[in-house]
Chain A
């Protein structure tokens, strides 16, 4: 075991997988010698060479489009999009091409690739370095969407994602890239996609979160506990396909639920979670299911702390649920 932060865990996972599987190719803006703007690919070009850790032209559409071609040919590309906010020039390639190729070809041409990209706010990044675009991708059949929250998950989920036979959008919580540290096994291990983790067992309210919001929920929990409210915290880890079974089982036990999501509220993934709880656990509910989310505004710069869900808002929601 070694203590790593998320960046180190990702770097470690990429290094191990590139050693194990010659088909793995990393491509993106500044990922080579420079090691990426967040240093996630640091040192990989030295070990694997410029042909497998490729600095690309500044073209997200090109990175994703050519990565799809590589995957079709039988490689395992792991393109990096510098910020999730910049993924949209490749949106058509992701939702119309990568996502549908297996289906439209009758399984003749799958696209196994992992698009890694840092997402989320809290780093004073304004509109274009802070967004949480997961819902666009979850809404697209054929894509898997994975969001780790800590170094252990980052490594285990990334190894699973690269070994997966389908395209994966791997959203990395950049706000806690370095702040989140923990024990990580140095060897290979995988965490299965599609399985949630119960971070903390509890009895009163099921709180569902993922990525950096999990840390906000854990902070809030210390305050909530003082009110004698016990939270069961479910960390989804994979948003598509999501582990509704674990969530429903928990809600049936607690009878109450809260979703905490950083993205804007309307049509966010939290809405899907709430609707599923209504469909499958309505008669177990003792209170309305609430959401604490980002507002339906573009992500702000100066006022980002008033935009992001925080412990105070989570505490307030928990109290309202318990009333």
Chain B
């Protein structure tokens, strides 16, 4: 084991073995904060369940769940300020929701309907929202890492107190963009948090095949940035370390690489079948460390959680998701004219000509 010890807060020791961890103080959180965190995690879980079912019923083209990893992205995004910027990858819906991205907008994006903010231009789970500084996701892995660093660097040049968080999985750390991004972050002391959800797998490829390093976080040392290892299923620990990284960034001390240890309980995507490459034992072991259960137990101890509350929350969040889906399914596709919008700020003569030609055929298609 490296000298990076796993930071934890919860005393259940669910994920870590004794002696490997550094215990942090409980982060300062109100009852409302805890309830918001718990609610967002439950909403995220129920959203996953619903969307997965819709995909299996053929009502949705594709989906990516984040089941089991909710604490990583919800906790870290919660620790960020309103004016901060977020560069997500495709497995952090809770980060978007807790920052105020509306569930309806999220579901509309998955359906690519006329109300989708991005006009139906990408596969499900590739959302973005300017108002909450949530930069639109792309599929190529790791490309957002230099963007996050560049945005943070830009904020620093401009003199803003913005901090940027960039999310990625363990697989992304094998990409050039990870090394390039973290190197620039180190050189320019960019106010950025590089948040790695180490969930053990990149589709079927296990961590041991990604790197011969003993951890992801150890790479921070080589690039001269702060590195922090955290129990990614302990949301309180995730909040604590992200707040610390945030403070560090704001005070001009530069970037932090956070490695959050977690597990991808679900498949990579709806096109994947993890039973081919994973053992049930491993999965069951991690299911016992479920981040939602752990926060629930913590809240129960503090008398913030009870069965009635749980029941109500489950009903409420499921109803919210159902309603959003019901609405999204009623909204038609974006107008065909919009196909040529936003390639550039203005429609140029070449695109104008192609648009005319396309419209001619849309007409003939309808007549058939």
Query: Taking the complex as formed, is A165 at the interface, i.e. its CB lies under 8 A from any CB of chain B?
Result: yes
Q: What is the CB-to-nearest-CB distance from B46 to chain A, in angstroms, rounded to a whole number?
A: 27
When the two chains form their complex, are residues A25 and B118 in contact, meaning their CB atoms are under 8 A apart? no
Asked whether B136 lies within 8 Å of A105 as measured between CB atoms, the reply is yes
Interface size on B, residues (CB 8 A): 49
Contacts of B162 on A, CB cut-off 8 Å?
73
- Knowing A75-B158, A109-B128, A241-B349, say if A61 contacts B180 (CB, 8 Å): yes
- Give, as a whole number of angstroms, the nearest-CB distance from A9 to chain B: 26
Query: Is B368 an interface residue when CB atoms closer than 8 A count as contact?
Result: no
Complex interface residues of chain B between 97 and 140 (CB less than 8 A to chain A): 116-119, 121-122, 126, 128-130, 135-136, 138, 140
CA distance A105 to B181 in the complex (A): 22
Q: Count of A-B contacts with CB under 8 A?
A: 154
Of B85, B187, B350, the residue contacting A57 (CB under 8 A) is B187
Q: Is B207 an interface residue (CB 8 A)?
A: no
**Across the interface, do B143 and A106 meet the contact criterion of CB distance under 8 Å?**
no
Residues of B within 8 A of A110 (CB): 345
In the complex, the answer to whether B119 meets A106 with C-beta atoms within 8 Å is yes
How many of A's residues come within 8 Å of B, CB to CB?
50
Q: Does A125 contact B (CB under 8 A)?
A: no
With A and B bound together, what is the CA distance between A25 and B138 in angstroms? 25
Q: Does A70 sit within 8 A of B, measured CB to CB?
A: yes
Question: Is A32's CB within 8 Å of the partner chain B?
Answer: no
Partner of A101 from B85, B117, B136, B148 at Cβ < 8 Å? B136
**What A residues does B135 contact at CB under 8 A?**
72, 105, 109
Q: Does B272 contact A (CB under 8 A)?
A: no
Given A92-B140, A102-B342, A107-B342, check contact A65 B155 (CB 8 Å).
no
Interface residues of B in 158-190 (CB under 8 A from A): 158, 162, 164, 176-177, 180-181, 183-184, 187-188
Q: Could you list 21 examples of A-B contacts with CB < 8 Å?
A: A52-B157, A54-B188, A61-B176, A66-B146, A67-B150, A70-B150, A73-B155, A96-B140, A96-B143, A100-B138, A101-B138, A102-B343, A104-B126, A105-B118, A107-B341, A109-B135, A110-B345, A194-B349, A241-B348, A241-B351, A242-B350
Residues on A close to B: CB < 8 A?
A: 23, 25, 51-52, 54, 56-57, 59, 61-62, 64-75, 77, 89, 92-93, 96-97, 100-110, 141-142, 144, 164-166, 194, 241-242, 244-245
Binding site for A on B (CB under 8 A): 85, 87, 116-119, 121-122, 126, 128-130, 135-136, 138, 140, 143, 145-155, 157-158, 162, 164, 176-177, 180-181, 183-184, 187-188, 341-345, 348-351
